[in-house]
Amino acid sequence: MNRRLLALAAVLGPGLVAANAGNDAGGIATYASVGARYGYDLLWMIVLITVSLIVVQEMAARMGAVTGKGLAELIREQYGPRWSLFSTFSVLLANLGICISEFVGIGAALRLVHVPKYASIPIAAIVIWLLVVRGSYKVAQRVFVAMTIPFFAYPIAAVLAHPHWGAVGRAVVVPHIQLNGPYVVLFVATVGTTITPFMQLYLQSAVVERGLDETDLPAERAEVATASVFANLVAGFIIIATGATLFVHGDHTVNSAADAARALEPFAGRFAEALFAIGLLGASLLAAAILPVTAAYVIAETFGLEKGIARRPREAPVFVATLTVLICIGAVVALLPHIPVIKLLVLVQVVNGVLLPVTLFFVWRLARDPELMGEHRNGRVFDALAAATVLATSGLSLVLVGLTFAGKA
Amino acid sequence: MAVLHLSQVVGGDLRDAGGERLGRVDDLIVRLEGEEYPPVSGAVASVAGRQVFVPAELIEAITPGRVDLRAERLDLQHFRRRPGEVLLKKDVLDRQMINVDGARLVRANEIELTRLEGWYRAVGVDVSVRGLLRRVVPRALAGRIAAADFLDWASIEPFTGHVPTVRLRVPHPKLARLHPAQLADLVEAASHREGEEIIAAVAENPELEADVFEELEDQHRREFVEERSDDEIAELLARMEADDAADLVLQLPEERREHVIALLSPPHARRVRTLLGFDPATAGGLMSPEFLCLYADATREEALERVARSRVHPDVVAWLYAMTLHRRLHGGVRLADVVRAPEGTRLNDLVASVQMVTPDTELEEVARLMTDFDLTVVPVVDEDQVLLGVVTVDDVLELVLPEGWRRRFNLFGGE
């Protein structure tokens, strides 16, 4: 019993971290845009995405426990260097985009409290670099996770905004599908921001790093499920809150962080902006710290470079260089003048959504491989769900690409 | 001596003596035990949609892109792994292995073969990015990427735990060349199963295994003892230094601790129990209860005799301690000074008073004493000034080095 609790406490970290990092700058921008533009119309897919997220995260955690290896490592070992490079580049591209969006988020959050981004972003970049290269990561993670607590304000704000609960309930159950550019774009963005490759990479590596094994699987499953449900409940409430305020008042576009913060007004009044700023800052910092390291791990695993024994810059130059480059590009792009913040954030999530099937495909194929996973391979029902997720996300990406070429998105 | 790249052999044609194409080469088979450069003992090929075994005796030549047979015909034996057989592509290529000479983990980007002493053998592993690049670009370009320096097979040790027919049966004799601290670093850097393989290999020598455990971090110690029986753990503890053994006991679930300690020899059990009573961040928790303390009247020869006979760690016997007839600590002397003293000198004439601490002295205070008085060993005494144990500088350094210094990127917050 004691041991079980211990195991649970051990995984509670990465699951929560992944869940909170999922509601990062890009996530909030996307959910707020969804709510403002379509009201509750897209709520039904949050339910589906939750199921998919649980399925995907569970596979990643299970593979980590059973094989003791990271995802990039497994792809390299099972499918050889070409596929491994392909998936690495798609992950890198997605991660670079998200990294930019986190710094944009940091800048936007601090601008709400009147700190210019030319001060906040460079400082944040330096702080994050120091943290990952030589600081105490554990403490930083806790602080960042704690800073996202203000996002609990969204459910309260949603209730205080007096949404039409009947309409909300109907929207959750009845799918509402439009086949036009903006709708599909937001749909893909929502999938892309909720099921993010870096979350699977992070979770699997975290499970490995903590030395969890098959006996810890039940605890891990419970953790993955609760964390996913929790993350998506917050997402759902952001949509409801913005749907009940911005959408109802006819503000159909969210252009800045200040716009998104206005959804919190029914609850927080004039503190809305400060609350929103703290939450946005915490989630963005958290993700901005995890992302570069995850990317550096992927590169090291793919190319078989040093990442294990001692990782001072001198001994693991590529590892440290990768994360330095990512942080620098992220910060520099975010510093460009006149960037349309929310638009950029949503765009990054779209790219993420399009690249997602690549990673998901490998996760699915590996998790069902009997030689690799033995008795822990996907069960029949579970496998069908996983396959459906891969197919659905791939289909969505194709539709989006098709619409883009047809000039409708 | 032409070097063959494995990735250019597999995927190539299998041809009979007449040059007729029979099928595709899928993999090459080696046995890892015994020889320094493992000879190719056969090939796996796809012929008419079936995976067949091609014994080495039938192979005439292996060249880039093709394997030629001696015979006109090939018996279509279905391929089935036999014990000890390792497939170079499936089991070794792209996987992690130990570079024994560099004491680090590397990944096999390419496997190099050559004809040596009459037959084709695996002679090395390319871990460079260039080796990887050659396999990514189209075949026509691949030939133009020159072979880089590769690691000699004699200095690598592949993991074989994932090979179903080999599981833990291939010994890893090269690992014995490594220092326990290097082995511990490898165990920590490898996946859990690979770590188990390393530990299983060093367990042939129980002393070495215990040394490796002394060097492992707490989290990893826990990982690797969890699944062992109480007897196995006690056996391991018996070979470890008492202070490290006590740390390891602390990693066990509470209900197991007493069982394990009870299985130790009485003096060892007593030492471990004593240590467990102390806070780990104080002198009492850091100290080792093994030391050399003689009566002040002892002669130089008696003292050296004691040193010669004792099994106490060399770091600890750098200092000898002298006590009064009431067992109170009287003073200390460096071993070197005892050795240099003229014959017949009494310890009493050699010792000087020493800095000492009590079990509840804080770690920082111990570290300060060591720095101020240039000590490598600090004695710990009780309220009657009876020597309980000594703290050595290595145990203190480990704890007081600033965090971030040679710290692992512990991204996931493990202890």
Q: Which of B177, B130, B157 is nearest to A304 (CA)?
A: B130
Whether residues B192 and A306 touch (CB distance < 8 A) is answered with no
The owner of tokens 């030629």 is: B68
In chain B, residues with a C-beta closer than 8 Å to the C-beta of A206 are 411-412
For A135, nearest residue in chain B (alpha carbons): B404
Task: Note whether A137 contacts B410, CB cutoff 8 Å.
Answer: yes
Strands B66-69 and B13-15: parallel
What is the pLDDT at residue B317? 87
Residue-level pLDDT at A4: 46
Query: What pLDDT does residue B113 have?
Result: 92
Q: Does an H or E element contain B350, and which?
A: helix B347-350
Helix (H, G, I), strand (E, B) or coil at B191: coil
CA distances from A264 to A281, B1, B8, B114 (A): 16, 74, 62, 70
Phi-psi region of A206 (alpha: psi -120 to 50; beta: other; left: phi over 0): alpha
Chain B residue with minimum CA distance to A312: B406
Chain A residue closest to B410 (CA)?
Answer: A137
Q: Does the CB of B132 have a partner CB in chain A at under 8 Å?
A: yes
ipTM: 0.72
Considering only CB atoms, A211 lies closest to which of B105, B109, B223, namely: B223
Length of chain A in terms of residues written? 409
Q: How far apart are CA B268 and CA B260, in angstroms?
A: 12
Q: Specify the pLDDT at position A21.
A: 72
Quote the crossing angle between the two packed helices B218-225 and B180-189, to the nearest 10°. 80
Which residues between 271 and 290 in chain A have a beta carbon less than 8 angstroms from any beta carbon of chain B? 290
End-to-end C-alpha distance for chain A, whole angstroms: 54
Of A14, A211, A312, which has the smallest distance from its Cβ to B406's Cβ?
A: A312
pLDDT bucket at A138, cuts 50 / 70 / 90: low
State residue B125 phi and psi, 5-degree precision.
-135, 130
Give the closest of B94, B103, B411 to A77, CB-based.
B94
Burial A137-160, CB ≥16 within 10 A → b, else e: beebbeebbebbebbebbbebbbb
Chains A, B: CB pairs < 8 Å: 97
Q: Is B412 on the interface with A (CB under 8 A)?
A: yes
Nearest Cβ partner for A211 among B95, B185, B219: B219
HSE (CB half, 13 Å, CA atoms) of A82?
7
The CATH label, of 2.30.30.240, 1.10.390.10, 1.10.760.10, 3.60.150.10, for the domain at B4-158 is 2.30.30.240
pLDDT, mean of residues A361-388: 92
B191 touches chain A (CB under 8 A): yes
- What distance in Å separates residue A141's CA from the closest CA in chain B? 9
* A89, A209, A373, best to mutate vs chain B, most B CBs in 10 Å: A209
Q: Where are the alpha helices (DSSP H) in A243-316?
A: 257-261, 265-268, 272-303
H/E stretch holding B125 reads strand B119-126
Nearest by CB to residue A208, choosing from B106, B132, B191, is B191
* Cβ contact A304–B132 (<8 Å): yes
Cβ separation A208–B413 shorter than 8 A: no
Nearest CA in chain A to B131: A303
Structural tokens at position B120: 């084709």
| First-to-final CA distance of chain B | 50
Q: What pLDDT shows up at residue A123?
A: 93
**Could you write out the three-class secondary structure of A126-181?**
HHHHHHHHHCCHHHHHHHHHHHCHHHHHHHHHHHHCCCCHHHHHHHHHCCCCCCCH
> Are B159 and B125 a contacting pair, CB within 8 Å?
no
Amino acid at A55: V
Per-residue pLDDT for A362 more than 90?
yes
Residue B372, number of CB atoms within 10 A of its CB:
9
How far apart, in whole angstroms, are the C-alpha atoms of residue A347 and residue A57? 24
pTM of this structure: 0.74
Q: Which CATH superfamily is domain A2-405 in?
A: Amino acid/polyamine transporter I (1.20.1740.10)
Pairing verdict, β B13-15 and B21-31: antiparallel
Cα–chain center distance at A298: 17
Cα distance from B225 to chain A (closest Cα, Å)?
12
Pick A133 or B196 by higher pLDDT: B196
Q: Does A208 touch chain B (CB under 8 A)?
A: yes
CA separation for the pair A224, A52 (Å, rounded): 12
- The residue in chain B having the minimum alpha-carbon distance to the alpha carbon of residue A142 is B413
CA distance A67 to B161: 11
Closest-CA residue of chain A to B135: A81
Measure the CA dihedral A57/A62/A64/A65, to 10°: 140
Q: Does B167 touch chain A (CB under 8 A)?
A: no
> What's the average model confidence in pLDDT over A179-184?
81
Report how far residue A337's alpha carbon sits from residue A332's, in angstroms, rounded to the nearest whole number: 10
The partner residues of B387 in beta bridges, in order of sequence, read B381
Q: Where are the domains of chain A?
A: 2-405
Whether the pLDDT of residue A263 is over 80: the answer is no
Residue B176 and residue B98: Cα distance in Å, rounded? Answer: 12
DSSP state of A378: P
| Chain A nearest C-alpha distance from B404 (Å) | 5
Computed over every residue of chain A, the mean pLDDT equals 81
- CB contact under 8 Å between B191 and A69, yes or no, is yes
Q: Where are the beta strands (DSSP E) in B240-399?
A: 293-295, 319-323, 329-334, 377-381, 387-392
pLDDT recorded at residue A409: 52
Whether A81 sits inside 8 A of B132 (CB atoms) is: yes
Q: Which two tokens stand for residue A287?
A: 């993700």
The sign of the CA dihedral A323, A324, A325, A326 is: positive
- Domain borders along chain B are 4-158, 173-277, 293-399
Average pLDDT of the residues in A139-151: 70
Bridge partners, residue B67, by sequence = B14, B62
Region A169-173 average pLDDT:
89
CATH number (3.10.580.10, 3.40.50.2300, 3.60.15.10, 3.30.1300.10) of B293-399 reads 3.10.580.10
Which residues of B, range 244-263, sit inside 8 Å of A by Cβ? 253-254
Span A93-111, mean pLDDT? 87
Distances (CA, A) of A62 to A74, A215, A367, A378, A394: 13, 11, 8, 10, 23
**pLDDT tens for each residue of chain B, 415 residues long:** 578 889 889 988 999 888 889 899 999 999 887 778 999 999 999 988 888 999 888 899 998 888 999 887 777 788 888 887 889 998 899 888 898 888 888 888 899 999 888 889 999 998 888 888 888 888 777 777 776 778 899 888 888 877 776 654 557 888 888 899 889 988 888 888 888 888 888 888 888 888 998 888 887 888 888 888 888 888 888 888 888 888 888 888 877 887 888 788 777 877 887 788 777 778 887 888 778 888 888 899 999 998 998 888 888 888 999 988 888 899 999 999 999 999 889 988 888 888 889 888 888 889 999 989 888 899 998 888 888 888 988 888 877 776 554 444 444 444 3
Q: Which chain A residue has the Cα nearest residue B136? A: A82
Question: Which site among A11, A67, A69 would you substitute to test the B interface, given the most B Cβ atoms closer than 10 Å to its Cβ?
Answer: A69
Of B107, B185, B404, the CB nearest to A135: B404
Q: Considering chain B, what is the average pLDDT of its residues?
A: 84
Per the CB < 8 Å rule, is A309 touching B104? yes
Do residue A311 and residue B409 have CB atoms under 8 angstroms apart?
Answer: yes
Closest partner residue to A76 among B94, B185, B190, by Cβ?
Answer: B94
pLDDT of residue A383 exceeding 90: yes
Which positions in chain B touch A138 (Cβ < 8 Å)? 410, 413
Instruction: Please report the pLDDT score of residue B111 as a whole number.
Output: 92
Q: Which of A2, A77, A309 sits opposite B189 (nearest CB)?
A: A309
Cβ neighbours for A178, distance < 8 A, ≥ 6 positions apart? none
Q: What is the pLDDT of residues B147-174, one digit of tens each?
A: 677 889 988 888 887 777 665 455 788 8
Q: State the smallest CA–CA distance between residue A343 and chain B in angstroms.
A: 31
Tell me which residue has tokens 């990643």: A60
CA R_g for chain B: 29
Q: For position A307, what pLDDT does the model report? A: 52
8 A C-beta contact, residue A42 and residue A186:
yes
User: Nearest 5°: phi and psi at A362?
Assistant: -65, -40
Phi, psi dihedral angles at A83 (to 5 degrees): -60, -40
Q: pLDDT tens digit string along A306-350? A: 554 334 555 567 778 888 899 999 999 989 887 777 777 777 878
Write out residues 308-327 of A within 8 Å (CB-CB) of B: 308-312
Residues in chain B with CB shorter than 8 Å from the CB of A2 are 253-254
Residue A5 has what pLDDT? 43
Q: Express each pLDDT in B299-334 by its tens digit.
A: 999 999 989 988 888 888 889 999 888 888 999 999
Class of the CATH domain delimited by B173-277: mainly alpha
Q: Does A132 touch chain B (CB under 8 A)?
A: yes
Tell me if A311 and B408 make a contact (CB, 8 A cut-off). yes
Judge: A68–B94 Cβ closer than 8 Å, yes or no. Answer: no
Q: Look up residue B204 and give its amino acid.
A: E
